[in-house]
Amino acid sequence: MKICIIGTGFVGVVSAAVFASFGNHVIGLDVDETKIAKLKKGVVPFYEPGLTELLLEEQASGNLEFTTSYETAIKDSEVIFIAVGTPSSPTGQADLKFVWAVGESLASYLQKDAIVVVKSTVPPGTLPKLEEKIRARTKVKFTTAAVPEFLKEGTAVQDTLHPDRIVIGARDEKTFEKLAALHAPLKAPIVKISPESAQMAKYAANAYLATRITFINQIADLCEKNGADVQEIVEAIGYDRRIGNHYWYPGFGYGGSCFPKDVRELAAYSRAIGEDSNLLNKINDLNEHRIPKLLDQYDKIVGGWKRKKVAVLGLSFKPNTDDMREAPSLKVIPDLLEKGATVKGFDPKAVPIVPFFLQEHKNATYTDKLVEALENVDVILALIEWPEITTYDFSGARHKQPQWFIDSRNQFNKSQIQNWGYTYIGIGRP
Ligand code: UDX
């Protein structure tokens, strides 16, 4: 099948490479010339394990191309995916300006019976508006559909190759059939529903996962007051098959490009339709305030943050990505600096943006060598579970009394950290 994917972010590039690997001819389109120039040379403009190899392979096979020209990308495409960003607007609702711009730009090159598929996370009601914008510019007959994306950064290639399900939101059997055929090599269950349900399903999945994380964070807070250990709670309740213990660790709250944005959007959408008192507002508030609350709490334990030297380990929002969108480091570091601490930041990959962020303050430095970040620090704050951090031998870094080790995601063996002589501070652990 000839397909085109508009928007070359995580979702766009990974989907393009995976569809190409199934023998489709895929053109990736972006208006960002620098990004396209890199992609044409086989360079992925962000860090995502396994993606460069797949990209190079598919480019070499001739199945995958990149362009900045709408005409080249659209004129022969049977299926056109829109995978552009939908950032939060000041009201919290999704700002759809990029989706509209794409619709307007592609309209005049559409071929007959093409399917325009929105992969971006958008609210129900988006497709009729998009159709209107396209119809105002072309007489060609086309259809639209919503196929939301559920991949996770850091495991994006594997998630796309082995999805739990494919959700197709369409209004007619012909569109369902064509999109089901395109996704058939993935051998995943296909859920055929209306576009509105598909769009709500994406929001609901992310909001549910964010709620689950917030819930266990709340339980962790209670454990800290009563001597229970939240890790033991997760194990104990996880045996209940209705609950399970997978993908469930307490910590400093959720970050990244999806959960915070999607929860805020769903909350704003609820308010906009008159559902003012909704759980999602509260989830968002709890997550927003989690880091300042924990840092205030630790202030007492470490004897005041003022003049403390802190190694902040892990600056990206999670391991195996250099993405810093809504990363905990972006809240932790300014807060620590404000409290009078000195910060040494370390990350194995989130390098390019970090110096820009840290250079602005004389008390914050950055290194890509863990050992350097640990020199003469009072507090080690293990923020992100990069394997480089969780498997590191911290025994040699303890140089004086007292020295604290904050395990912000309960990733370390508490007894080992204590045996090395640190005062261990975990989440929801006695
Ligand atoms: C998420 C969804 O998982 C994915 O389905 C959707 O398409 C996009 O949003 P992503 O943001 O890439 O993916 O990462 P994910 O691994 O889900 O983590 C999101 C945030 O939640 C991270 O900050 C992570 O540290 C945090 N998290 C996750 C927890 O704090 N506890 C958990 O148990 C799980």
pLDDT band for 362, please (50, 70, 90 cuts): confident
CA distance 417 to 291: 23
Q: How far is the CA of 217 from the centre of ligand 1 (A)?
A: 14
Residue 170's contacts (CB-CB under 8 Å, 6 or more residues apart) are: 143, 145, 146, 176, 179, 192, 194, 195
**Over residues 120-140, mean pLDDT:** 97
| Mutate which of 233, 258, 284 for ligand 1 pocket (most atoms within 8 A of beta carbon) | 258
Tell me if 323 CB under 6 Å of ligand 1.
Answer: no
pLDDT at 211 over 90: yes
Both tokens of 197, joined, read: 């349900």
**345-346-352-357 Cα dihedral, nearest 10 degrees:** -10
The pLDDT tens digits for 5-47 are 999 999 999 999 999 999 999 999 999 999 999 999 999 999 9
How many helices (H) and strands (E) in the chain?
17, 14
DSSP, res 317? S
Structural domains of the chain, ranges and CATH numbers in brackets = 2-193 (3.40.50.720), 259-425 (3.40.50.720)
What atom in ligand 1 is closest to the CA of residue 154?
A: 12
Contact 123, 99 (CB under 8 A): no
Burial of 401 (0-12, 13-18, 19+ CB in 10 A): exposed
Q: How far is the CA of 152 from the centre of ligand 1 (A)?
A: 7
Tell me if 327 CB under 6 Å of ligand 1.
Answer: no
pLDDT at 352 over 60: no
Contact 21, 57 (CB under 8 A): yes
pLDDT at 84 over 60: yes
DSSP one-letter string for 229-259? -HHHHHHHHHTSTTT--SS---SS---SSSH
pLDDT at 87 over 50: yes
Q: How far is CA 4 from CA 175, 256, 287, 328, in A?
A: 16, 26, 37, 35
Tell me if 248 CB under 6 Å of ligand 1.
Answer: yes
| Mutate which of 86, 254, 261, 316 for ligand 1 pocket (most atoms within 8 A of beta carbon) | 254
Task: Give the model's pLDDT for residue 354.
Answer: 54
Neighbours of 245 (CB within 10 A): 16
User: Which one, of 274, 315, 283, lies nearest residue 218 by Cα?
Assistant: 283
